[in-house]
């Protein structure tokens, strides 16, 4: 009887404290810095000037060339100004889209934040599944150093191309 009671209590506690956990399963784009520089047409730093939640036209969102998130109820659409260009013509990129943080592949999009954008399209994406990311100095020191190293590497590529 005691074993059955203990077993019942354990199952009850497990059911009480269990909930669904959703994780983003796409990973990063997997390219080295050199491969990414070759692959992407437009690479630039943008400052977000406006961000708004919108209803998507479809119930899925294509993050990069190989991954689609579905279902999607809301998207973040952001406007931006270009701060620094490393490759391509950022004027061809009209908007930046992202998934809200409630989505497991979502990424923060802050008005006033600076983002390093990698894209081949007129629409850039910010998510956990692509290479574009936030590059402000408010990050933890080790992440800020990684961002500075990436930006300095890109600047050196631009100098060598001139």
pLDDT digits (tens, 9 = 90+) for 107-142: 778 899 999 999 998 888 887 777 888 887 667 777
Reported as type and span, the H/E element at residue 3 is helix 2-17
Rounded CA-CA distance 78/59 in Å is 19
pLDDT digits (tens, 9 = 90+) for 32-43: 889 999 999 999
Q: Are the CB atoms for 87 and 40 separated by under 8 Å? A: yes
The mean predicted confidence, pLDDT, of the chain is 77
CB within 8 Å of 75: residues ≥ 6 apart: 53, 54, 55, 56, 61, 97, 98, 99, 100
- Name the class of domain 2-161: mainly beta
Q: What is the pTM of this model?
A: 0.76
With H, G, I as helix, E, B as strand and everything else as coil, classify residue 29: coil
Q: Are the CB atoms for 105 and 112 separated by under 8 Å? A: no
CB within 8 Å of 142: residues ≥ 6 apart: none
Has residue 20 got a pLDDT over 60? no
More confident residue, 79 or 139: 79
Sheet holding 114-119, edge to edge: 123-126, 95-98, 75-87, 42-54, 114-119, 133-134
What mean pLDDT is predicted for residues 20-42?
75
State residue 18's pLDDT score. Answer: 42
């Amino acid at each position: 009887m005691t074993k059955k009671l203990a077993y019942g209590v354990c199952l009850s506690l497990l059911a009480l404290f269990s909930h669904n956990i959703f994780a983003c399963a796409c990973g990063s784009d997997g390219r080295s810095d050199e491969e990414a520089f070759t692959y992407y047409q437009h690479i630039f730093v943008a400052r977000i000037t406006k961000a708004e939640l919108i209803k998507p036209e479809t119930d899925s969102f294509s993050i990069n060339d190989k991954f689609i998130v579905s279902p999607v109820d809301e998207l973040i659409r952001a406007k931006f100004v270009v701060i620094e260009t490393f490759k391509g013509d950022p004027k061809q990129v009209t908007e930046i889209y992202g998934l809200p943080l409630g989505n497991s592949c979502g990424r923060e999009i802050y008005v006033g934040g600076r983002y390093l954008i990698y894209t081949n399209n007129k629409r850039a994406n910010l998510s956990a599944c692509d290479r574009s990311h936030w590059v402000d100095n408010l990050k933890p020191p080790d992440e800020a150093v990684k961002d500075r190293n990436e930006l300095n590497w890109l600047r050196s590529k631009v100098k060598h191309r001139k």
